[in-house]
Structure 1
Amino acid sequence: MSAAIPQRPLARAYDYIVVGSGSGGCAVARRLIDGSDASVLLIEAGPSSLGVAEIDDPAAWVPLGRSAYDWGYDYAPTPQVNGRVIGIPRGKVLGGSSSINAMMWYRGHPMDYDAWEEAGAEGWSFKDVLPFFKRSEDWEDGETALRGSGGPLRIERCASLHAIAEAMLDGSAELGIPVIDDPNGESNEGAAAANFNVSNGKRWSSAKGYLEPVLENDRLTIVTNSLAIRLGLARGRCVSVTHMVDGRATVTEATTGVILALGAIDTPRLLMMSGIGDPVELARLGVETRVALAGVGRNLQDHPLVQACVFRAKQPLGPTVGNGGGTMMNWKSSAGLPQADLHAFPVQGNSAEPRIRELYDLSGDLFSIGCGLMRSKSIGYMKLLSAEPGGALEIQPNYLAEPSDLDALVTSVETIMALAATPAYADWFGGYAAPAAALRRPDIVSYIRNACSTFFHVCGTCAMGRDDMAVVDSRLRVRGIEGLTIADASVIPIIPTCNTHAPATMIGERASDFLLAAA
């Protein structure tokens, strides 16, 4: 039985206020408690996740999107995806998206972080960030030069692989894609058993790993079901947060600093609602500009996912193993690329997008392989359509806007169609379901426009850097104002080739060090 959150009375002021309890926010709150004598208030808009059966169960993660634990956001339609609205699940619950995601722990390639430094994020090369990845980890194989042990987040492979997942390893080798031991090792190119935040058959969220061990510390106060609606600014400093408590707007002061960790959608939303952003956008909303930062809400990035290639199964798949996946495959869309850009994973069942389900006969026993692009170039934005709390948003990733993204995705689909037909899948592959046959390249493009979805890796909307569009500096401080830090995926300047939970956790770990060093 998981621990309950102690109900401490809300004080007038705290040393630090952390807004948002996702991957970054949990790490910051925990390290501030461990590393100082400071008082910390953690504000979460959703309910607790601790001890919730459907959150704990790795096999039950898919319905958590569009549930009471999800914000219910959508990406706006474009002609590139045939006018479809694409849901973008974001955790509205203690632990944030780490409490509703697929539990993948994957940090991508070292070159991803070297690219951050080249883009102006000084001190964020791979050698700089590796210690913070390691500090967060409790890897089942123990500490190595590249992996950590004893950290807050338990990381394990599936204890046993479903045959569909096992076949990905054998089939990839038949296609000339190597099989590797650890996708978080020296290279991520190849097929491997995936790393998961799972232990003893249960989800190991950031709330479980970072917060649960310090719940009884009286310097930590956690307020759930509390929506932050405004930041208080005075004399060039962020001094308070206005948040809803039992239906009433309550102002709580921060004597040392405020840390925003609401994620790549709600961090820029709160900034703009508080008068921090592009003056043109703020004027459109009728919000007074307090700090002019043109980059707030810009640079939105997410990995496009073809959801999915679906195949007929020769036999029933049986009970779900793990999270319904178990393995992963990373490979290059072109041999001349410096690193893998394509990614795929198996699904024990039908994981097709709604439009694909409308267009194809997907009855009977099925398995799927999702595939997508991890070095996507298309850039989007998010903007407020209303400055009211909970008001409408326009969230636009601009999927497939860059022709190179579409070209790479065609290659990913071609590879997956070939993978399912390898001898490794001979006991399972009973024919193509969606697409219903191997396709020519123009027909694959049409399929992708109907199947394009999200990996849930939205990031970049408060990017770190040195240019005029940078929202935070290399110490994660919001430019133009004191006492305000961002510690979530919104600060990512260039999307890495991985799920964003691990890099967001690393960002939270680094943010806490910066804060403690400045105190």
Structure 2
Amino acid sequence: MQTMLTTLILGATIAAAAPLTARSLVSDAAGQTYDYIVVGCGVSGLVVSSRLSENEDVTVLCLEAGALDHYEDDILVPYYIGLQPDGFYEWGIYTVPQTQLDGESRHIPMGKGVGGGSLINGMVWNRGNQESFNAWNDVGNSGWGWNALLPYFEKSETYTPKNYSGAEVQPELQNPSVHGTSGPVQVSYPNYYWPQTNNWFEALHELGIPTSAEPNEGLSAGGYFLPLDIDPINQTRSDARRSYYDPIIARTNFNVQDNSQVTRVLFDTSDNLTATGVEFATGASAPRQTVYARREVILAAGAIHSPQLLELSGIGQSSILEPLGITVLQNLPGVGNNLQDHGMIHLNYNYTSPVLADVNDFAINATFNDESAAEYYGSKTGPWTAKPSCAVAFPSLEQVTESASSMLAAASSAAYNLPSTYDDEPTLQAGYERQMASVLSELANENIPAFENLNNNAGGLDLALMRPLSRGTTHITSTDPFTTPSVDPRWLVHSFDYDVMILAMQVNQRILNTDAIKYLGPSYEYIPQDATAEELGQILLSGIGTEYHYSCTTAMLPLDLGGVVNEVLMVYGTNNLRVVDTGIFPMVPGSHLQAVAYGVAEKAADIIKAAQ
């Protein structure tokens, strides 16, 4: 509960983050014609639509189901990560019951607003390993390897290094040649360094887990000090809305229309499928309206809603569409299948040592919280700038177990446990086998992370699976576009994923037993220090959920491998319908996804421009 001091300063103006004076969003797109219609104004949609509108001779409309934010502190101030109220710029979707776990459904938060998930995510900025992107190229997508993507990763960011006095891993030593210097997103570090960060890296060193000063060149696994999408001066979130929309809000050829949910794509079927426009509505009971496209319709609604729109529009797996009475315009079994996510479990071993304050003190020490708030609003320094920890670990199997080879061998012969939608679909089965071979080959490399350990410097050691073999689905169950699709992530259905997460939990136990962490006094209220693998398994099955990295449901793959889009992101069987969001990933990279999403969208924009 906020004290009076905090309550008074919460409304303080964040000077350089104040809204620009500009034209209001218009609500008159209905009946109009634009060169490009972009569906979804999150990270991918704003990147692509803003870049296309750089050509003043074309007109661009971006339609967003959510609202335009009001520069709330809950978005801009790092302290509020994880504290936003329910439904705050978010869809409120739940999965189907996860019978392979504990039979319960899980909330899967997704951003809903101009800026999408970048409004509410944890601000972490990393790309993953080079080989994960080279694998995209190797499964049939020419021009999508690391070297092809790196210029676009750089194009999206303005990177500002930082020196922390006495830091065990110094971000100032990072490699400037892999960072951008003039991109829209501000990428930097908090103006505060939690002293426990050194304990974290010392613990990793005790266990023989190496650390890297430059995680974003994609060459190593181990301990990292990661940057954030944070303004280095104002210490505010640098999200997609403030990076790719506000600076160009005055463009007369670019219109963002919020509170407008697209309900289906419209086609001329006389010559293959030509998207002529989209239908949208301001609410479930509102009348449907139409806007037309001269050149292309571009889906950027995310890995859950882009496949929903394709299916509602007659593009998808026949066995899903026909029972709903939807005319199948293009049978693409890959739509809504191949769902991948980094399954994550929250684990707390709260530090009890009174020597050092940590993020838990925000809630239990009013004086510390008020002083931190005053420091933040007064000078943009202090603990409130550093709510998300930058000190994490992405270990490889080789770094944490002597059984890596036997684990990988067992994984290759284990039951796939694929969704029922893969039955009688040879392209989906072939695509999965190709992906599995690629992932297992990567994981044999000591530089490829198998899991992530999200240290919060207060005893929180959350774990996430980086290279899953489990596959899920998302499909419509109704022709009503306002009915939530059936989302089934199917975390841990492949035994290898379960084994990796148990190993990760055991690595936690080793970390807690290092001298560096024992000094901080970890507690074992929730997880016994000597918990067996079976006991850890019970905790895992009841606790695992999402890391918010939904992807791969409109995969960029060859048709014979279950692909939905080709290497120029055109939906198979259409002339001018593309997808540009995280759904096009063939395999989820071992990283947080926002930096990847920005880079992929930058490349997508150039692909579309080249076709003009």
State if a TM-score over 0.5 links the two structures. yes
Tell me the SS of whatever aligns to 1:8: coil
- 1:159 maps to 191
- 1:138 maps to 158
**Amino acid across the alignment from 2:204:** S
> 1:428-464 CA distances to partner (integer Å, 9 max, x unpaired)?
2242122133312222222211121211001010000
**Amino acid across the alignment from 1:476:** L
1:208 aligns with 2:208: no
Q: 1:214 to 1:273 in 2, by over 3 A?
A: same
Q: 1:310 to 1:385 in 2, by over 3 A?
A: farther
- 2:41 maps to 21
**Amino acid across the alignment from 1:510:** K
When Rg is computed on C-alpha atoms for both structures, the one with the higher figure is 2
- 1:352 maps to none
Note the 1:13-412 alignment, pairs <5 A. 13-64=33-84, 66-141=86-161, 144-199=176-231, 200-234=234-268, 235=270, 236-245=273-282, 247-315=286-354, 317=358, 318-319=361-362, 321=384, 322-335=386-399, 337-338=444-445, 339-347=448-456, 367-412=459-504
- Cα offset, 1:216, TM superposition: 0.8
2:25–2:258 Cα contact (<8 Å) kept: no
- 2:605 maps to 512
- Cα offset, 1:392, TM superposition: 3.3
Q: How many pairs align?
A: 502
- Cα offset, 1:326, TM superposition: 2.5
Tell me the SS of whatever aligns to 2:525: strand
- Cα offset, 1:284, TM superposition: 1.6
Q: 1:99 to 1:10 in 2, by over 3 A?
A: same
CA distance in 1, matches of 2:607, 2:480: 32
1:45–1:228 Cα contact (<8 Å) kept: yes
- Residue 485 of structure 1 is aligned with which of 568, 573, 578? 578
> 1:212-232 CA distances to partner (integer Å, 9 max, x unpaired)?
110011111111111110111
Q: Which moved more, 1:455-464 or 1:443-452?
A: 443-452
Tell me the SS of whatever aligns to 2:350: strand
CA distance in 2, matches of 1:396, 1:163: 40
**Amino acid across the alignment from 1:516:** K
Q: Which moved more, 1:369-378 or 1:62-71?
A: 62-71
CA distance in 2, matches of 1:407, 1:285: 39
CA distance in 1, matches of 2:141, 2:94: 30
- Residue 2 of structure 1 is aligned with which of 7, 13, 19? 19
CA distance in 2, matches of 1:382, 1:291: 18
1:104–1:196 Cα contact (<8 Å) kept: yes
CA distance in 2, matches of 1:452, 1:164: 26
- Cα offset, 1:505, TM superposition: 1.3
- Cα offset, 1:312, TM superposition: 4.3
CA distance in 2, matches of 1:329, 1:481: 43
Q: 1:93 to 1:5 in 2, by over 3 A?
A: farther
Q: Which moved more, 1:266-275 or 1:178-187?
A: 178-187
CA distance in 2, matches of 1:489, 1:323: 26
1:342–1:372 Cα contact (<8 Å) kept: yes
CA distance in 2, matches of 1:455, 1:164: 24
> Structure 1: 5+ residue runs without aligned partners?
350-366
CA distance in 2, matches of 1:165, 1:86: 31
1:6–1:215 Cα contact (<8 Å) kept: no
- Cα offset, 1:8, TM superposition: 3.4
> Structure 2: 5+ residue runs without aligned partners?
1-17, 162-173, 363-382, 405-443
CA distance in 1, matches of 2:307, 2:218: 34
1:6–1:216 Cα contact (<8 Å) kept: no
**Amino acid across the alignment from 1:414:** Q
- 1:358 maps to none
Q: Which moved more, 1:376-385 or 1:187-196?
A: 187-196
CA distance in 2, matches of 1:77, 1:65: 24
Q: Over aligned residues, Cα RMSD in angstroms?
A: 1.9
1:157–1:193 Cα contact (<8 Å) kept: no
2:395–2:449 Cα contact (<8 Å) kept: yes
1:65–1:100 Cα contact (<8 Å) kept: no
CA distance in 2, matches of 1:181, 1:143: 8
TM-score, normalising length from structure 1?
0.92
CA distance in 1, matches of 2:469, 2:157: 30
Tell me the SS of whatever aligns to 2:388: coil
Percent same amino acid at aligned positions? 26
1:346–1:368 Cα contact (<8 Å) kept: yes
- 1:425 maps to 517
CA distance in 2, matches of 1:101, 1:173: 29
CA distance in 1, matches of 2:43, 2:389: 22
Tell me the SS of whatever aligns to 2:523: strand
1:64–1:70 Cα contact (<8 Å) kept: no
